[in-house]
Amino acid sequence: MAHSAVDVIRTKRDGRPLTADQIDWVIESYTRGEVAEEQMSALAMAILLRGMDATETARWTAAMVSSGRTLDLGGLRRPTVDKHSTGGVGDKITLALTPLVAACGAAVPQLSGRGLGHTGGTLDKLESVPGWRASLSPDEIRSRLDSVGAVVCAATEGLAPADRKLYALRDVTATVESVPLIAGSIMSKKLAEGTQSLVLDVKCGSGAFMTDRTRGRELAEALVSIGIANGVNTSALLTAMSAPLGRAVGNALEVAEAVEVLRGGGPADVVELTLALAGEMLEHAGLPAADPAEVLASGRAYAQWERMIAAQGGDPDAPLPRAAHTHTVAAPESGTLATLDAYAVGVAACRLGAGRTRKEDDVQHAAGVLCMAKPGEHVRWGQPLLELHTDSPDAVPAALEVLEGAFEITDAEMTRESLVLDRVVGSEMTGSSR
């Protein structure tokens, strides 16, 4: 059956579901350049306004996967399982989680990205380790998974090229917020990895892309539905991102904190989420008897980290970069720190040099923010609340500006709540999403 871009746009504009043939045709034709950018822009807007049901979204994602090549991870001696986070402030979980799950017996193909805006990127963080390299060929990925059990690297060229084109288009056509398009973008890259199982960390709160818990669950359900429909064992944890995760925000600072966790210490919230995700991943991998808490305490996860870093050219014993300049933000009164806005801290870290506002920008590996106090902790007048790190002292005023009003101190007692807000597993999720 012959198709045309106008007919596909009209179908969705009028609120009707796209057929599998329409989806396959439009993604393939767009990837080849036969569907014009303005036509795909119109279709993306129609999807934003009219939504797509679970069947459409799963087929859309599969078509984007089919637009390029996929990694072949068959024949590995270990079961494969991956984790994806939707991004947050101080989210260094991948750094500790990947070697931990590998030390428990799984193979973890963690294809990661770079930071843009107020959330950091895993590759930027790891590149603060001297010698470490992000780019690996498909053969190198397989080899390291087979020999080491874990790899954190950039996505290889040719994986889901349709997503790369569509992502750039959505960014300039005000269609980024569409849940089906967000879910398809995330899952097309994850499915192209070839992993057998996937656990998603969907964050909601001021420092997350999804600030609202209802929208966060909607995204989690869409992601899980896509994974299951495409034959990947998938679940999601909905986790809080209103305050920074851990105490460190910034590339080398976060690596140092992840190493603390791998050595049996580190902030309680980072350890809590690392173990929760590890348990979920090991269940999917068919390794429920493994005890990630015991492996973390034993030092085996840290030894796995050393092997993983060395296998990609890094020196795990080399000193991490240190900032040339620091500035302290002191508590203006005594009491309990009630709130610490994740978004403001993330933007401050970015302004100090830890992040980028354009994809071509460089990052300062030593820049960032240390949270010297966390919500629920008692503070005294004059006590350091935040420590700003940068190689560019002129950037400090801009960081301080965004931190105005970013925290609240109260007389009330507070207790720390669990980071894990909800768990999403496969079910009949067939409703339409926008």
* Token pair for 7: 């007919």
The CATH number of whichever domain residue 34 belongs to comes to 1.20.970.10
* Confidence at 94, pLDDT banded by 50, 70, 90: very high
Supply the DSSP symbol for 286: T
The answer to whether residues 308 and 373 belong to one domain is: no
The answer to whether residues 386 and 253 belong to one domain is: no
Q: Which residue has the tokens 């995204």?
A: 219
Domain assignment present for residue 70? The answer is no
The answer to whether residues 313 and 359 belong to one domain is: no
- For residue 142, the model assigns a pLDDT of 93
Would you call 150 helix, strand, or coil by DSSP?
strand
- For residue 171, the model assigns a pLDDT of 79
- Phi then psi dihedrals of residue 125, to 5 deg: -65, -50
The answer to whether residues 279 and 346 belong to one domain is: no
Domain assignment present for residue 124? The answer is yes
The answer to whether residues 112 and 13 belong to one domain is: no
* Token pair for 75: 């024949």
The answer to whether residues 252 and 354 belong to one domain is: no
Instruction: With a cut of 70, say whether residue 427 has pLDDT above it.
Output: no
* Token pair for 48: 């934003």
Which helix or strand (DSSP H or E) is residue 5 part of? Answer: helix 5-13
Would you say the C-alpha torsion 295, 296, 299, 304 has a positive or negative sign? positive
Report the catalytic residues.
Answer: 84, 163, 170, 185, 189
The answer to whether residues 135 and 254 belong to one domain is: yes
Domain assignment present for residue 370? The answer is yes
Query: What pTM did the predictor assign?
Result: 0.91
Helices 179-192/54-66 angle, 10° precision: 40
Query: How many domains does the chain contain in total?
Result: 3
- For residue 326, the model assigns a pLDDT of 98
Contact call for residues 130 and 251 (beta carbons, < 8 A): no
Instruction: With a cut of 80, say whether residue 111 has pLDDT above it.
Output: yes
The CATH number of whichever domain residue 388 belongs to comes to 3.90.1170.30
The answer to whether residues 140 and 235 belong to one domain is: yes
Domain assignment present for residue 112? The answer is yes
The CATH number of whichever domain residue 128 belongs to comes to 3.40.1030.10
Residue-range definition of the domain harbouring residue 336: 325-410
The answer to whether residues 101 and 225 belong to one domain is: yes
Domain assignment present for residue 57? The answer is no
- Report, in angstroms and rounded to the nearest whole number, the Rg of the chain calculated over CA atoms: 22
Instruction: With a cut of 90, say whether residue 168 has pLDDT above it.
Output: no
How many residues would you count in the chain?
434
The answer to whether residues 313 and 333 belong to one domain is: no
Neighbours of 382 (CB within 10 A): 12
* Confidence at 324, pLDDT banded by 50, 70, 90: very high
Contact call for residues 2 and 21 (beta carbons, < 8 A): no
pLDDT (mean) for 86-111? 95
Domain assignment present for residue 239? The answer is yes
If we measure between CA atoms, which residue out of 297, 377, 274 comes closest to residue 334?
377
* Confidence at 433, pLDDT banded by 50, 70, 90: low
* Confidence at 53, pLDDT banded by 50, 70, 90: very high
The answer to whether residues 313 and 338 belong to one domain is: no
Domain assignment present for residue 373? The answer is yes
pLDDT (mean) for 376-401? 96
**88-92, 117-121, 245-249, 352-356 — which is least confidently predicted?**
117-121
- For residue 177, the model assigns a pLDDT of 83
For the chain, helix, strand, coil in percent to 5 are 45, 15, 40
- Phi then psi dihedrals of residue 222, to 5 deg: -65, -45
Domain assignment present for residue 420? The answer is no
pLDDT (mean) for 382-410? 96
- For residue 432, the model assigns a pLDDT of 53
**172-186, 338-352, 356-370 — which is least confidently predicted?**
356-370
CB-based burial, 256-292: b 16+ in 10 Å, e otherwise: bbbbbbbeeebbebbbbbbbbbbbbbbbbbebeebeb
* Confidence at 412, pLDDT banded by 50, 70, 90: confident
Q: Where are the beta strands (DSSP E) in 242-300?
A: 248-249
CA 431, chain centre distance (Å): 25
The answer to whether residues 42 and 21 belong to one domain is: yes
Instruction: With a cut of 80, say whether residue 117 has pLDDT above it.
Output: no
CB-based burial, 116-141: b 16+ in 10 Å, e otherwise: bebbbbbbbbbbbbbebebebebebb
Percentage of the chain beyond pLDDT 70 is: 96
